[in-house]
Copies of this chain bind each other. A is one copy, B any other.
Amino acid sequence: MSLIVQKFGGSSVADAERVMNVAKIVTDTYAKGNDVVVVVSAQGDTTDDLIEKQMEINPDASRREKDMLLAAGEQISISLLAMAIEKLGYHATSLLGWQAGFETSSAHTTARIKRVDASRIQDELDQKNIVVVAGFQGISRYGDITTLGRGGSDTSAVAIAAAMHADLCQIFTDVEGVYTADPRKVETARKLKEISYDEMLELATLGAQVLNNRSVEMAKKYGIELEVLSSMTKAPGTIVKEKPKMEKMLISGVAKDTNIARISVIGVPNYPGLAFKMFSKLSKKKINVDIILQSIGHDGKKDISFTVAKSRGKEAVEVLEDYMINTLGAKEVLYDEEVAKISIVGAGMESHSGVATKMFEALYDAQINIRMISTSEIKISVLIDAADADKAVKAIHNKFFD
């Protein structure tokens, strides 16, 4: 008998039919003799509906009250799923975040899990109940409802798996697993059987959006084996673990991110500390900078280019324009949203040379211009024109996987 944690996102429980489908998956797992803890997000549109209600009344509401409002979403989905499990003839108990023992920091809307006291969950399992837990939420030391922020339900699931030493934590999504490239765009993309935590982390930050990063970090820290799989098909998914079986591949995937913009500050005076001053302006506004490229200076001037999330792009330009030009004497600030970041990720890179060369060759063959490059131990990213993005992914994928 194993203890299995299963997590279902909002689209998996969007309506009555899907809730029943999830109940079927859960009870099938239970009927095989496993203890099952299910973590659920709010139903598809519930969160949007609640935010709309808030915006009508007070767009600047306190974060404590926002958490109180949003946490109602999972309360609805957990009770409905428990009812669906009852309908199939099994016993279920739904538990809110605080009932399930999620003690968090008091940073409302972005709380961090401090401890999971899983005693109530264990009591329910001991009574042979399937336990349905509200993801995304917890309780602060002040007894207030908190939420974990974006992707919080994945983290909730992994935290329970860690606290209870679960044998497996299954994350059900609308894709069948982790692919070598987006299967909707690249016909030859294949599903990976296994992947390491580190590769998964790089892929998540690169726009693959399969798993929330915090949850992968936590799984890595506690050695929790994850499986990413679809709630719609019965196909086995992708296992995320420390040392996956090597599939004799140099890289595990090609990812595309078009939600970025490039900012170039032209003609920055070549004094020490100017780059630091510039980036600290941005970090004060909590604007994250990704790839950075600095030109070799000449005539006492240099150009600095970097990428930011598209959603923060205009704000970053506003922050910099006045300061860089009027205070520091730069010539101009350029802004370009028509860019894409293409990345390859693979633990195999560490021990194999020539991976970067192979990637650049693929792009050259496809006549795609590389505008910026960034590398880490298991990742190589290039910035190219947005219009070339899909062509680039295909070219690189074919080069490595054909």
Contacts and interface: CB of A to CB of B under 8 A. Distances in A.
Interface of A: 16, 19-20, 50, 53-54, 56-58, 60-62, 64-66, 68-69, 71-73, 75-76, 78-80, 82-84, 86-87, 92-94, 96, 99, 120, 143-145
Given A16-B53, A16-B56, A16-B57, A69 B79 contact: yes
19 contacts: A16-B57, A19-B57, A53-B76, A60-B86, A61-B82, A61-B83, A61-B87, A62-B83, A65-B92, A68-B79, A68-B94, A68-B96, A69-B75, A69-B76, A72-B72, A72-B76, A72-B79, A99-B143, A120-B143
A68 B75 contact: yes
B58 A87 contact: yes
A75 B71 contact: yes
Given A57-B83, A61-B86, 5 more contacts: A16-B56, A54-B79, A54-B80, A65-B83, A66-B79
Contacts of A62: 82-83, 86
Given A58-B86, A72-B72, A65 B50 contact: no
Contacts of A73: 72
Nearest to A20: B57
Contacts of A84: 57-58
A19 B53 CA distance: 11
Nearest to A69: B79
Contacts of A68: 75, 78-79, 82, 94, 96
A120 to B, nearest CB: 7
Nearest to A15: B56
Contact of A82 (B16, B65, B71): B65
Contacts of A56: 16
Nearest to A70: B79
Nearest to A61: B83
Nearest to A91: B62
Contact of A80 (B53, B92, B144, B145): B53
A19 to B, nearest CB: 6
A189 to B, nearest CB: 36
A16 B60 CA distance: 15
Contacts of A50: 76
**Which of A16, A65, A94 lies at the interface centre, i.e. has the most chain B CB atoms within 10 A of its CB?**
A65
Contacts of A87: 57-58, 60-61
Nearest to A92: B65
Ranked nearest first, the 9 interchain pairs of A and B with the lowest CB-CB distance are A61-B83, A69-B79, A68-B79, A16-B56, A58-B87, A58-B83, A72-B75, A72-B72, A65-B82
A196 to B, nearest CB: 39
A222 to B, nearest CB: 27
A55 to B, nearest CB: 9
Contacts of A76: 50, 53, 69, 72
B83 A54 contact: yes
